[in-house]
């Protein structure tokens, strides 16, 4: 007989609601009326059914680890605007040890990502690129913060919104831009496009178009690390929409059973294509809390402040490495552009005011610039210089891409099976993992 589980009552939800509120700025969202009604109806039915269902006896759940994680979930910039008492994550040991050059380096990386994508957008709009273009603008701090925490043994993987992660781990602009133009000099030889940046030599495993598909691949990375006794962790990024793919639940179950050193980072930008979080998730106070159903630890943090992101992610990555256990970290973030450039309704399923508010109050680059100015790590002129360099680099990358040749026709049959094309030992023996 099917078991019917009820949603937690409002009172039980309160600690998580508080944590969730702390992580995401309270910007009013415009939700279309019809779907909102549909959402309302469903839980009502479920509640009714629970009343007649035989109560299911569950073993008492031990919660201290998770409760601790929630309690330590930090405030985000939202708290600054309302109460002016945002927790200062600069004092966290993971941040206090940073040198001025490191902090300036983070600014440079975020600006490089933004200028790269703005340049790409310009040429996409001119019809010079095929396929999709999913921009990461607004979310740069998450990729840059993560790359800054990687220890040379960690592996990362993400979905199709992948430019930021690629540049952050050290991919050069030229091959990345050329990939967008479909040129043979591209990082995937012009055959992958925007969704398929890839640089295993930089511990970056792409760039995947199937929503949620990167989660089990990330588990493979984690399994390989454990199997080989490498003290690293895998970080698999996924969106607020991707958590609704069944495979994510399967991953949580397996990661817990196998004690895998993996951190699932949910980049919660509030929307999956044109669908707001309010309309896509039955449980809205936190997406990460789904991990509880699989005995996996979870926590929340704001992703707008680089210090906050580093403090939270750094801690759970270290835990994954040392304890070989999975963790789900939900990061509040926001994308300014549409789902892809082709998303003409980007300002219809959310209000222009909402977008403006995130841009003016929670932009990760502006926040970081303010922070560095406050710390006197950099001057306005210094910021200007770095920004000009990033713009020039992006413009030069576009020139490089435009001047690059198209892939040859025969190359369409190459790189289908890397190990076969390259006659590697892995290709001969069937060992395909970390073989080169």
Ligand X SMILES: Cc1ncc(C[n+]2csc(CCOP(=O)(O)OP(=O)(O)O)c2C)c(N)n1
Transcribe 257-270 into DSSP letters: HTT--EEEEEEE-S
How many Å apart are CA 157 and CA 138, to the nearest integer? Answer: 19
Of Mg ion, ligand X, none, which one sits near residue 242, judging by CB under 5 to 8 A according to partner kind?
ligand X
How many Å apart are CA 89 and CA 92, to the nearest integer? Answer: 5
Of Mg ion, ligand X, none, which one sits near residue 294, judging by CB under 5 to 8 A according to partner kind?
none
CB atoms within 10 A of CB 3: 8
Q: Which of 46, 65, 210, 412 binds ligand X (CB under 6 A)?
A: 210
How many Å apart are CA 181 and CA 193, to the nearest integer? Answer: 7
Of 180 and 242, which CB lies nearer to ligand X in the complex structure? Answer: 242
- Greatest alpha-carbon span in the chain: 69
Contact 254, 260 (CB under 8 A): yes
Sign of torsion over alpha carbons 310, 312, 313, 316? positive
Per CB under 6 A, which region of 267-275, 370-378, 413-421, 426-434 contacts ligand X?
267-275
Shortest distance (Å) from residue 238 CB to Mg ion: 9
Shortest distance (Å) from residue 238 CB to ligand X: 6
Contact 262, 248 (CB under 8 A): no
Contact 206, 176 (CB under 8 A): no
Our finding on whether 339 is near ligand X (CB under 6 A) is: yes
Query: Could you tell me which residues are beta bridge partners of residue 271?
Result: 276
Our finding on whether 338 is near ligand X (CB under 6 A) is: no
Residue list 182-241, contact with Mg ion (CB under 5 A): 239-240
> Where would I find the H helices in 73-159?
77-83, 93-96, 100-125, 140-149
Per CB under 6 A, which region of 57-65, 87-95, 264-272, 399-407 contacts ligand X?
264-272
Nearest 5°: CA angle at 292, between 286 and 297? 90
Of 239 and 314, which CB lies nearer to ligand X in the complex structure? Answer: 239
DSSP 8-state secondary structure symbol assigned to residue 230: -
Contact 266, 288 (CB under 8 A): yes
Q: Cβ-count burial of 115 within 10 angstroms (0-12 exposed, 13-18 middle, 19+ buried)? A: buried
Shortest distance (Å) from residue 240 CB to Mg ion: 4
CB atoms within 10 A of CB 270: 21
Per CB under 6 A, which region of 30-38, 112-120, 171-179, 209-217 contacts ligand X?
209-217
How many Å apart are CA 390 and CA 178, to the nearest integer? Answer: 17
Of ligand X, Mg ion, none, which one sits near residue 161, judging by CB under 5 to 8 A according to partner kind?
ligand X
Of 158 and 272, which CB lies nearer to Mg ion in the complex structure? Answer: 272
Contact 194, 163 (CB under 8 A): yes
Of 77 and 239, which CB lies nearer to ligand X in the complex structure? Answer: 239
Per CB under 6 A, which region of 66-74, 270-278, 348-356, 392-400 contacts ligand X?
270-278
Our finding on whether 241 is near ligand X (CB under 6 A) is: yes
Q: Kindly write out the interface string for residues 245-274 of this chain, putting x where it contacts Mg ion by CB under 5 A and - elsewhere.
A: ------------------------x--x--
Pair type for strands 297-302 and 275-276: unpaired
Our finding on whether 164 is near ligand X (CB under 6 A) is: no
Q: Which of 211, 287, 300, 315 binds ligand X (CB under 6 A)?
A: 211
Shortest distance (Å) from residue 92 CB to Mg ion: 27
Shortest distance (Å) from residue 246 CB to ligand X: 10
Our finding on whether 218 is near ligand X (CB under 6 A) is: no
Q: Which of 76, 90, 148, 269 binds ligand X (CB under 6 A)?
A: 269
Of 4 and 247, which CB lies nearer to ligand X in the complex structure? Answer: 247
Q: Which of 149, 167, 225, 242 binds ligand X (CB under 6 A)?
A: 242
Of Mg ion, ligand X, none, which one sits near residue 339, judging by CB under 5 to 8 A according to partner kind?
ligand X
Half-sphere exposure of 321 (CA within 13 A, CB side): 18
* Contact set with Mg ion (CB under 5 A): 239-240, 269, 272
* Contact set with ligand X (CB under 6 A): 161, 209-211, 239-242, 269, 271-273, 339
């Amino acid at each position: 007989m099917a078991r019917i589980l009820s949603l937690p009552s409002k009172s039980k939800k309160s600690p998580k609601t508080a944590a969730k509120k702390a992580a995401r700025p309270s910007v009013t969202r415009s939700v279309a009326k019809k779907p909102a009604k549909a959402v309302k109806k469903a839980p009502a039915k479920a509640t009714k059914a629970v009343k007649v269902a035989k109560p299911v006896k569950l073993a008492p759940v031990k919660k201290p680890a998770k409760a601790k994680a929630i309690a330590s979930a930090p405030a985000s910039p939202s708290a600054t605007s309302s109460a002016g008492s945002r927790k200062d994550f600069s004092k966290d040991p993971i941040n206090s040890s940073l040198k001025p050059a490191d902090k300036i380096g983070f600014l440079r990386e975020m600006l490089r990502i933004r200028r790269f994508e703005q340049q790409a957008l310009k040429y996409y709009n001119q019809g010079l690129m095929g396929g999709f273009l999913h921009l990461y603008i607004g979310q740069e701090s998450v990729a840059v913060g993560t790359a800054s925490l990687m220890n040379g043994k960690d592996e990362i993987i993400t979905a199709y919104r992948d430019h930021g992660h690629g540049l952050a781990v050290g991919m050069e602009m030229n091959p990345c831009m050329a990939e967008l133009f479909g040129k043979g000099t591209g990082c995937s030889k012009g055959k992958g496009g925007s969704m398929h940046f890839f640089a295993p030599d930089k511990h970056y495993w792409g760039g995947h178009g199937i929503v949620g598909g990167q989660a089990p691949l990330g588990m493979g990375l984690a399994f390989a690390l454990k199997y080989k006794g490498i003290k690293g962790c895998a970080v698999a990024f996924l969106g607020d929409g991707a958590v609704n793919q069944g495979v994510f639940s399967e991953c949580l179950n397996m990661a817990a059973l196998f004690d895998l050193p993996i951190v699932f980072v949910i980049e919660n930008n509030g929307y999956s294509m044109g669908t707001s979080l309010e309309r896509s998730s039955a449980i809205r106070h936190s997406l990460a809390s789904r991990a509880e159903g699989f005995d996996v630890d979870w926590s929340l943090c704001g992703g707008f402040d680089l210090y906050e992101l580093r403090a939270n992610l750094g801690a759970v990555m270290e835990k994954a490495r040392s304890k070989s256990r999975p963790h789900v970290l939900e990061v509040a973030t926001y994308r300014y552009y549409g789902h892809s450039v082709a998303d003409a309704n980007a300002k219809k399923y959310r209000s222009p005011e909402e977008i403006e508010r995130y841009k003016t109050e929670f932009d990760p680059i502006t926040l970081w610039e303010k922070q560095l100015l406050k710390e006197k790590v950099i001057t306005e002129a210094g910021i200007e210089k770095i920004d000009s360099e990033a713009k020039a680099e992006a413009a030069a990358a576009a020139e490089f891409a435009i001047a690059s040749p198209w892939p040859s026709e025969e190359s369409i049959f190459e790189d289908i099976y890397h190990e076969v094309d390259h006659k590697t030992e892995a290709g001969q023996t069937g060992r395909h993992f970390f073989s080169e």
